[in-house]
Amino acid sequence: MNRHRLLERFLQYVQIDTTARDGAEHYPSSAGQLELGRLLVEQLQALGIQAVQNEHGIVLATIAANVPQGDDLPVVALCAHLDTSFETSGAGVKPQVIYDYQGGDIVLPGAPDRVIRAADNPELDGLRGCTLVTSDGTTLLGADDKAGVAVIMEAVAWLMANPQIGHGPIRLVFTCDEEIGRGVEKLDLQQIGATVCYTLDGRGADEIDVETFSADLATVVIRGKNIHPSIAKGRMVNALRAAGALLARLPRDRLAPEATEGREGFLHPYEISGGVGEVNIKVLLRDFDTAKLAEQAELLRSEARAVMAEFAGATIEVQTRPQYRNMAEGLKREPRAVAYAQEALRRLGRTAKLTFVRGGTDGSRLTEMGLPTPNLSCGQHNPHSPLEWACLDEMVLAAQWLVELVQVWAEKSK
- Show me where the domains of the chain are located: 3-212+326-412, 214-324
Instruction: Return the pLDDT at 22.
Output: 85
Binned at pLDDT 50, 70 and 90, residue 375 comes out as very high
Residue 71 has pLDDT above 90, yes or no: no
| Average pLDDT score over residue span 22-49 | 95
Q: What are phi and psi of 296, to 5 degrees?
A: -65, -40
Q: Cβ distance 242 to 306 under 8 Å?
A: no
> Environment class of residue 42 by beta-carbon count within 10 Å: exposed (0-12), middle (13-18) or buried (19+)?
exposed
Pairwise CA distance, residues 43 & 33, whole Å: 15
Residue 298 has pLDDT above 80, yes or no: yes
Which one is the CATH code of 214-324: 3.40.50.10860, 3.40.50.720, 3.30.70.360, 2.160.10.10?
3.30.70.360
Beta strands (DSSP E) in 262-405 are: 266-274, 278-287, 315-324, 353-357, 375-381, 389-391
Class of the CATH domain delimited by 3-212+326-412: alpha beta
Q: What is the DSSP letter of 146?
A: H
| Average pLDDT score over residue span 7-30 | 95
Binned at pLDDT 50, 70 and 90, residue 23 comes out as confident
Instruction: Return the pLDDT at 414.
Output: 75
Q: Which residues are catalytic?
A: 83, 178
H runs (alpha helix) in 29-117? 31-46
pTM (2 d.p.): 0.89
**Of 5-9, 133-137, 361-365, 389-393, the least confident:** 361-365
Residue 395 has pLDDT above 90, yes or no: yes
Residue 402 has pLDDT above 80, yes or no: yes
